[in-house]
Structure 1
Amino acid sequence: MVINEKSPALFEQIEEMVEWLGSFGKSKSNGVTRQLYSTEWRCAQKALEKRMNKIGLDVYFDDVGNLFGRLPGSRENTTTILTGSHIDTVIDGGKYDGAYGVIAGMIALQYLYETYGLPKKNIEVVSLCEEEGSRFPMTYWGSGSITGVRTIEDVQNLVDLQNISFIKAMQDSGFGQGKYRQPKRNDLDCFIELHIEQGEVLEREAMPIGVVSHIVGQKRYEITVIGESNHAGTTPMAWRKDAMYVASGLIQLLIQRAKETNSDLVATVGQLNLEPNIANVIPGKATFTVDIRHSDEDVIDQFSKNLFKEFQSIADRHTTDLKIKNWMDEKPTKMCEKLIEISELILTKDQIPYKKMASGAGHDSQMFSPFCATSLLFVPSHKGISHSPHEFTRTEDLEKGIRLLIKLLYELAY
């Protein structure tokens, strides 16, 4: 398969579509806010529907708001190759995260259809309704609904910060009423997700493509240290049960042990709350989060086990109580070796350097991986910045990713 390696039209098409889709929910800081079932989200999905129709795809929604554009296969009762990503964003996020995968899928299907006609197998591009969990406390609603991991029962009692229920927001957007086909799919042959890295490894190593072997596992904890509130001026240092002092020691130990354990293991404290949080009162309670990630489940488990033994020892030494709550436990997810091999053969043949790597962030691919062959491919992110208006990837790199996707889809479907 030969693609014109110097196509100004493709370059310009990518730039135009990135800016076009980024205009839905564009913020004053040049970021994007496009939360699930919001007005901006609805406008973006409807605009994508029109654009998919215009390029000759068979277009349909499912009942949670996932949008599909299909190139039907010439073979009867064939399975479906699915590509795409999500269009929801965090508040004031970037215009590439998720959106790039949707744009890439549309461009790839248009190119294949115009150049080779209909494929043997069905190919679909999907604009997944939600991945981020930035409006409601629910992530991967789009891909989870397709795979059956998420159901309507999971969202019955969810509300956003304005106390709007998930169900009402969905129904106000025209979904969740039985008007469209049910989201659960049983016909998927594979899922291919093209995404910006959201890290700086590829840029630092001057690699235009990342072929993901694993998505890391994640454990998240809420750690609570309970001491004793008292007067900041009248309580001698030797008699204090300072929850903040103990918590700071635990946090320092966490970071130190993470650095010592494994170069690929990362640990983060992202939230810290004190009670009563008053300048002249010794904190009686300190609560902080711990996020631990690695591609090997055993490494995460052993690290956590050893760490919390030390945590307990420190808490006991200072006569404070310690509570540890594990509220997220996502296993590492392996990508399909066969799809990795095909991508590597294409890249090697085209003499394009690439890096086989793990993804430190979660993606819709981890929802699909247990149900069908799944591939996650990266292009570089400038300085690794993401979830920010400063998120940026050069069009040249976006184009390399789309050329790979076109060739991969051709191999699988034609």
Structure 2
Amino acid sequence: MGRSVLAHPQEKEKLLTYFETHIMKVLHWLASFGPDEDGGITRLLYSDSWLEAQRALAVKMSGCGLVTEFDEVGNLFGKLQGEDADAPSIITGSHIDTVVQGGLYDGAYGIAAGLLALDYLKRQFGKPKRTLELVSLCEEEGSRFPMAYWGSGSIAGKRNFEQIVHLQDGQEMSFADAMHRCGFGEGMGRNCRRDDIGAFIELHIEQGAVLESEGISIGVVDTIAGQRRLKFEVVGESNHAGTTPMHMRKDALEGVSVMIQALRREAVKLGAPLVATVGRLQVLPNMPNVVPGKVVFTVDARHADEGVLGSFCDWVKRTFTQLADERQLAIHGSEWFREEPVPMDERLKKQMDDVCKQMAISSKRMVSGAGHDAQMFKHICKAAMLFVPSRRGISHSPEEFTEPRDLAVGVLVLTELLYRLGYEGEEL
């Protein structure tokens, strides 16, 4: 290994103080685009606040000496050109969109951190060997239209214009019209697809409480968990709540309550990183004096190992069927969403481990239970993720919070990694 961004170990505190001050300034500046009445931030894809934020970011990137360019769906890139024009780019960044009433950090932190890192590297070390880029991805959350990862998916070739033809938001505005209104669309900017990316590195808040509870500064994401979402419909018999004896009832809700308890027991028994959630429950006829005759509910299951996840979901289907049969209830189940686990690049993970060790920063390998843009980039390049702690694991909320010093540590680790890859030319 060659040099480091720290000429001497004692410079660490000075640089952390610098990043701590400036990361909050950039985050609060970004929060000025899309503030809502309840203290949150709502910056939905192709909204006015979204467009204002992207345009303002382009100006700020240019002010830091980056060459800016939008692609045809509205992803914004800021390039720090390297000496080797033919070498694949190293890209960092995250998404600019938010959920409704989102917080200060989700997505925005990765963009702000990348901006500070590239600005610092350019001022301190000049032109890199490999091109470094910052991306403000147009969308990840799926909060306005029923389509997630539109930005990163378009870059990776997993999303395309044909998929959005019939999509509308809650006000019946079409996806294409909203996009065109902002000046984007097919052929209106650089082609989305990229085949010149060597690595994508995403810095993000954890959105969980593991790092905070264990007192660890950095999470090196080992794998983004796979997800299965199942829907079950359980049918019994609606009847009078006062005249139907308990032993004669075909109570769909009672059967489902037993299924939910069995689901939790099995998930707890199998242990982390498996998680299972019943998130939606519809009870019919949902009356206080009627035995429930039908219940529709969902199960969300996640694990980093596809084999374990598949076996668990098979167990769920068998067990729920058995519990329904015992109660003379009809049951129908279907899978409506599936994403395979996505392991992050092993070489990049080891480099991040080494950066943390060299700088005496506590870290651990961990699974991401939430999906991220890095899983899309994994289809076309090496991908890696870093987490910083989230207070009480709260996210997608105005109460989302990470200590400024924790944010600064993340920026420092990202800066060092980009230095090694961009300036020292470490192998990918």
**Hey, what does 2:426 align to over in structure 1?**
none
Count of paired positions? 414
Alpha-carbon distance in 1 for matches of 2:84, 2:186: 33
Given that 1:96 and 1:391 are in contact with CA atoms closer than 8 Å, whether structure 2 keeps it comes out as yes
Q: Deviations over 1:353-376 (max 9, x none)?
A: 111111111111111113211110
Match of 2:266 among 250, 257, 264: 257
> In the alignment, residue 167 of structure 1 is paired with which amino acid?
A
Match of 2:5 among 2, 5, 10: 2
Match of 2:373 among 364, 380, 389: 364
> In the alignment, residue 2 of structure 1 is paired with which amino acid?
V
Given that 1:216 and 1:360 are in contact with CA atoms closer than 8 Å, whether structure 2 keeps it comes out as yes
**Hey, what does 1:50 align to over in structure 2?**
59
Given that 2:79 and 2:133 are in contact with CA atoms closer than 8 Å, whether structure 1 keeps it comes out as yes
Match of 1:190 among 176, 199, 205: 199
Match of 1:338 among 347, 350, 366: 347
**Hey, what does 1:267 align to over in structure 2?**
276
> In the alignment, residue 49 of structure 2 is paired with which amino acid?
E
**Hey, what does 2:250 align to over in structure 1?**
241
Shift of 1:177: 4.4
**Hey, what does 1:67 align to over in structure 2?**
76
Alpha-carbon distance in 2 for matches of 1:285, 1:42: 45
Match of 1:144 among 153, 175, 191: 153
Counterpart check, 1:289 vs 2:292:
no
**Hey, what does 2:327 align to over in structure 1?**
318
Alpha-carbon distance in 1 for matches of 2:199, 2:374: 10
**Hey, what does 2:181 align to over in structure 1?**
172
Deviates more, 1:3-12 or 1:252-261: 3-12
> In the alignment, residue 163 of structure 2 is paired with which amino acid?
D
Given that 2:285 and 2:293 are in contact with CA atoms closer than 8 Å, whether structure 1 keeps it comes out as yes
Shift of 1:65: 0.9
Match of 1:375 among 351, 363, 384: 384
Match of 1:134 among 139, 143, 148: 143
Alpha-carbon distance in 1 for matches of 2:403, 2:109: 12
**Hey, what does 1:218 align to over in structure 2?**
227
Given that 2:273 and 2:367 are in contact with CA atoms closer than 8 Å, whether structure 1 keeps it comes out as no
Counterpart check, 1:306 vs 2:309:
no
**Hey, what does 2:111 align to over in structure 1?**
102
Counterpart check, 1:228 vs 2:237:
yes
**Hey, what does 1:79 align to over in structure 2?**
88
Shift of 1:238: 2.7
> In the alignment, residue 87 of structure 1 is paired with which amino acid?
I
Shift of 1:262: 2.5
TM-score normalised by length of structure 2: 0.94
Q: Deviations over 1:163-198 (max 9, x none)?
A: 221111111121114220111111010000000001
Alpha-carbon distance in 1 for matches of 2:356, 2:19: 19
Counterpart check, 1:203 vs 2:217:
no
> In the alignment, residue 30 of structure 1 is paired with which amino acid?
G
Secondary structure in structure 2 of the residue aligned to 1:70: strand
CA-atom RMSD in angstroms: 1.3
Shift of 1:234: 3.2
For structure 1, the residue ranges without an aligned partner over 5 or more in a row are none
Deviates more, 1:245-254 or 1:170-179: 170-179
Shift of 1:382: 0.8
Shift of 1:282: 2.4
Shift of 1:226: 1.5
Counterpart check, 1:19 vs 2:34:
no
Alpha-carbon distance in 2 for matches of 1:177, 1:293: 35
Alpha-carbon distance in 2 for matches of 1:213, 1:246: 38
Alpha-carbon distance in 1 for matches of 2:341, 2:122: 36
TM-score normalised by length of structure 1: 0.97
Alpha-carbon distance in 2 for matches of 1:2, 1:80: 20
For structure 2, the residue ranges without an aligned partner over 5 or more in a row are 424-428
> In the alignment, residue 335 of structure 1 is paired with which amino acid?
M
Secondary structure in structure 2 of the residue aligned to 1:149: coil
Shift of 1:341: 1.2
| Moved beyond 4 Å, runs of 4+ | none
Alpha-carbon distance in 1 for matches of 2:140, 2:146: 11
Alpha-carbon distance in 2 for matches of 1:160, 1:233: 44
The percent of aligned pairs where both chains have the same amino acid is 50
Alpha-carbon distance in 1 for matches of 2:203, 2:254: 45
Given that 1:209 and 1:353 are in contact with CA atoms closer than 8 Å, whether structure 2 keeps it comes out as yes
Alpha-carbon distance in 2 for matches of 1:177, 1:300: 38
Alpha-carbon distance in 2 for matches of 1:196, 1:352: 16
Shift of 1:306: 1.6
Secondary structure in structure 2 of the residue aligned to 1:97: coil
Given that 2:221 and 2:368 are in contact with CA atoms closer than 8 Å, whether structure 1 keeps it comes out as yes
Match of 1:115 among 102, 124, 132: 124
Deviates more, 1:247-256 or 1:139-148: 247-256
Secondary structure in structure 2 of the residue aligned to 1:65: coil
Shift of 1:235: 2.9
Alpha-carbon distance in 2 for matches of 1:179, 1:305: 46
Shift of 1:118: 1.3
Q: Deviations over 1:179-227 (max 9, x none)?
A: 2011111101000000000111111111111111111111111111112
**Hey, what does 2:393 align to over in structure 1?**
384
Secondary structure in structure 2 of the residue aligned to 1:311: helix
Secondary structure in structure 2 of the residue aligned to 1:398: helix
Alpha-carbon distance in 1 for matches of 2:309, 2:19: 43
Given that 2:349 and 2:384 are in contact with CA atoms closer than 8 Å, whether structure 1 keeps it comes out as yes
Secondary structure in structure 1 of the residue aligned to 2:380: coil
Q: Deviations over 1:46-97 (max 9, x none)?
A: 1111111111110011111111100011113221111000011111111101
